[in-house]
Each structure stands twice: as C-alpha cells, then as structure tokens.
Amino acid sequence: MNYYIFTFGCQMNVSDSLWLDRSLQAMGLKPCNVEEEADIFLINTCSVREKPEHKIYSLLGRLQEYIREKPHVFAGVGGCVAQQVGMGFLERFSFVRLVFGTDGLVMVPECIRRLLEDRHLKISLLDFQDHYPERPECWPDSSPAQAFVNIMQGCDNFCAYCIVPYTRGSQKSRSSQNILNECFELVSRGCKEITLLGQNVNSYGQDKNGSEISFAELLKRVAGLPGLERLRFTTSHPKDIDREVIRAFGELPALCPHLHLPLQSGSDRILASMGRRYTSGDYTHIVDCLRTSCPDIALTTDLIVGFPGEKDADFQRTMDLVEKVGFDSSFSFKYSDRPGVPAEKMHPKIPDEIKADRLDRLQSLQGSLTRDRLAQRVGQEEMVLIESQSKKQGPPGTVSWTGRDPGGRLVHVHLPRDRDCTGEVLRVAIVRAHKHSLSGEVVTC
C-alpha cells in the first residue's frame, strides 16, 4: 500500500505530516512521490485565510475525478479545515473515509489500519483532548540534520482575526521531560538543528496543566544538550516575550540570532481592535532590548493589511514602523474574513483594491529593506547548514547547494560534484547579495 501526503499551512502542519510519514512507514506502508501510485491520500489542511481553504476543495475535486477509476483508493483529511468542516467532508466526498483534527492525529495510523481492513468503515477523530496528546515515536537509526519538536498545542489568545484557537483548541503545554527526551533522541542520532514549535511558545507552561518550567528555562535546557549546534523557536507573541528569553539570545551559544516576532500592525488603534494586547511602543522597546542583547539578531515578522476599520493613517503607521525596525524579511497578508471569529463582525470592511494597493506598497518597502539587510552581509563569514541541492547552475565540476546561516538567511554555495553535502555545516564567505538570498564561497582552512 502506497500513501501520498499533501501538506498545507504552517510549520506545525509540516511537523505533524513528518510524524505521520514516520509512523506510516513503521507500519510497513510506503510513501510515494507520484500521485498516480497512491492508494491512500492524506491531506493536512490550513484554514488561516480563505485562499488556502479553497485550495483544499479544488484538490478534493481533482482527486475525486481521478479516484473514480480506482475505487479502492481513499483519502483522509486532517488539520485545521478538517477540524472546522468536520463530518462535512465525509458527507460530501464519498472517497474521504477519515477526518482528523490535530488532537486526533495520534490515532491516525491505527485508524488507517482499520480502514484498510474494512472497506465500508468511515472514521472521524475531531475531539479535543484536555492534555497534550503525546505521540509514540519510531526513531530511525539516523536523524535528518534539522528537526521540529512540538512543545505545545493550541492557543488561548483569540486575536480577533484568527481561526487558530478554534481549529487547534486551547493551549496545552507538553511536559518538559518529554520535550527534552525527544531532543536528546534526535541529537544522539545526528540532528544538528532543532526548532521548537508552538502557536505561542512564550506562554509555554502557563496553561491550566502548567506546573511546568518557563520557556526561558526550557530553552536553556535544550540548548545545553551536548551535540546540538543550533536551536530555533517559533512563533512568539510580543505580549509574552520576557526578559529572560531576550537575554538568552546573548547568552546561549546554540540559540540562533533570529526571531520571528509577528507585529501585525503598526497602529495602536488597530492593534487594540485586533486584541493583540501590546502597542507599537511596546514592540519597539522589545526590539531595542533584543538588539542590546544580540546586536546581530535577524528580525522577521507577520503583517496584516486591511483589517476592518484600517484607515490610510493606520496603514502609514505600519509602513513607518516596518521601516524603523528594518525587518530582515516579512510575511504580509490581506485581511481575510474567517467564519466565527470576532473580526468577521467588525466594520467597515476594507475593499479588496485598497487591500491590494496597501499590500503592494508594504511588500515593495520590505523588498528594499531586505536588499539593504542582505547587502550588509557581504564580506562576512557565516556558518551555513546545507539543506539541499539548488536548481542553480554551478561552474563546471560543481553543484550549487543552498543552506541557511544562523540568522536564517538563504545562502547558495558551489560545492564539488559527487558529494552529498546535506546536513554539513560549512564556513562560507559571503560574496554577493541577491533579492532574497546570498551567495558565498566555502572557506578552506
């Protein structure tokens, strides 16, 4: 039996799909790279904006056509849209025989076994658990150089625009012992870089089950694992980032000098109606403290344009703050109404042409900031963790590879042919800055 996994959405979905992949392989099922060879499709969905949600329906429509010829083939739909639409998928698409939310993920491998045994069965796994559902691991002999480790599930913040607290449930921190054990297992199998994942990692341990250590203490303990070269985490909320975490950037050698700190808007009025619980002044204060603790820190962010009631002056404040902070890069989105969230009922809605124009202006400002920030790296030497071969052409006898520097910037290097460099950490002299990346040459010692 072959399976094919489609993954949409954030790194937590990527991490969930990777776990599913390991578990299905351990059951003896085979992953396939070609859709036509699949007997089981698993679709891990995202509903953060309308567009990714629509993609799921067009994918299911396409699969329905294709599966018509192959009645034994079935699909499971999981993740945030599944949690939202639930049984609707089972009713609307006969070939969908499994729906699962994030808390149900842990039971998916066992349910697939049952679905293979009984062709008439359909299963729904949509209940939320009141604790972090620990997932059994089947560790392969060696680990990839980079890995994600979940430290929590869900979110209690209910930002006015956001569907995540409804699709991922309330915040549940995972036990620090289990987190440390997983990190230890990964590092002992050769993992060099760990990214700790959660919707709001800075409130780790503060939920109702929380008799846990603080996030800063967790960082210290993970960073102290012998053999771990790089530690990252995402995502942070500005209202919860504390002094200890800011200090950690200057104190823990393994902690990479990069923070993704979603700003969303530069207008205090809009931040208040988003329910973000910080002001633009609080944000710039955090940035100043971060740069004091770690002068070289790379800062990236998320921004929303056209939130209900956003005036030109509010948008201008976002532009001003983005320029003032000088983000290395940012993800920016047009506000998108989500069913059942408070902002759905907020007015006035901003017309799409205005949102598109604001997004354009914001992205072109970010483009020039990114170019400036990248140009500053030229002439420096960076340790680059090589991730994969790139499509770029290298000089004869070489192959072009891409990796990331500690700040998370993409770096291209040419390396001799006939060598798999995945997972190597190389000293690279940066020689050129491009629009979104850097190029460098390996420094031979």
Place of tokens 């002044």: 281
Tokens of 436: 């979104």
Where do runs of H (alpha helix) occur along 262-349?
268-274, 280-293, 312-325
Q: Does 99 bind ligand F3S (CB under 6 A)?
A: no
Alpha-carbon gap, residue 259 to 430, rounded angstroms: 22
Contact between 262 and ligand SAH by CB under 6 A: the answer reads yes
Dist. CA 180–CA 222, nearest whole Å:
6
Residue 304 interacting entry, from ligand SAH, ligand F3S, ligand SF4, none, C-beta within 5 to 8 Å by type: ligand SAH
* Residue 17 interface partner, choices ligand F3S, ligand SF4, ligand SAH, none, CB cut-off 5-8 Å depending on type: none
Pick the binder of ligand SAH from 49, 189, 269, 432 (CB under 6 A): 49
335 binds, among ligand F3S, ligand SAH, ligand SF4, none (CB under 5 to 8 A by kind): ligand SAH
Site string for ligand F3S, 51-90 (x = CB under 6 A): ----------------------------xx----------
Q: How many residues does the chain have?
A: 445
- Is 335 a binder of ligand SAH (CB under 6 A)? yes
Site stretch for ligand F3S (CB under 6 A), options 43-51, 203-211, 219-227, 349-357: 43-51
Q: Which is nearer to ligand F3S, 47 or 143 (CB)?
A: 47
The Cα–Cα gap between 207 and 205 comes to 6
Q: Is 343 among the residues that bind ligand SF4 (CB under 6 A)?
A: no
CB of 161 to ligand SF4, least distance (A): 7
Please give the Cα distance from 187 to 198 (Å, whole number). 20
Number of Cβ atoms within 10 Å of the Cβ of 171: 24
Q: How open is the CA angle 229-234-238, to the nearest 5 degrees?
A: 125
Q: Pick out residues in 145-204 that bind ligand F3S (CB under 6 A).
A: 163-164, 167-168
Segments of 344-392 assigned E as strands: 381-389
Q: Which does 6 bind (CB under 5 to 8 A by kind): ligand SF4, ligand F3S, ligand SAH, none?
A: none
Among residues 117, 100, 105, the alpha carbon closest in space to that of 1 is found at: 117
Q: Does 235 bind ligand SAH (CB under 6 A)?
A: yes
13 binds ligand F3S (CB under 6 A): yes
Residue from the set 5, 10, 194, 303 that interacts with ligand F3S by CB under 6 A: 10
CB 97 within 8 A of CB 111: no
123-151 b/e with 16+ CB inside 10 Å = b? Answer: bbbbebbeebbebeeeeeeebbbbbbbbb
Nearest-approach distance from CB 235 to ligand F3S, in angstroms = 9
Tally Cβ neighbours within 10 Å of residue 219: 24
How many CB atoms are located within 10 Å of the residue 293 CB? 17
Residues near ligand F3S, by CB under 6 A: 9-10, 12-13, 46-48, 79-80, 163-164, 167-168
Binding positions for ligand SAH, rule: CB under 6 A: 48-49, 161-162, 164, 199-200, 235, 237, 262, 264, 302, 304, 333, 335-336, 338
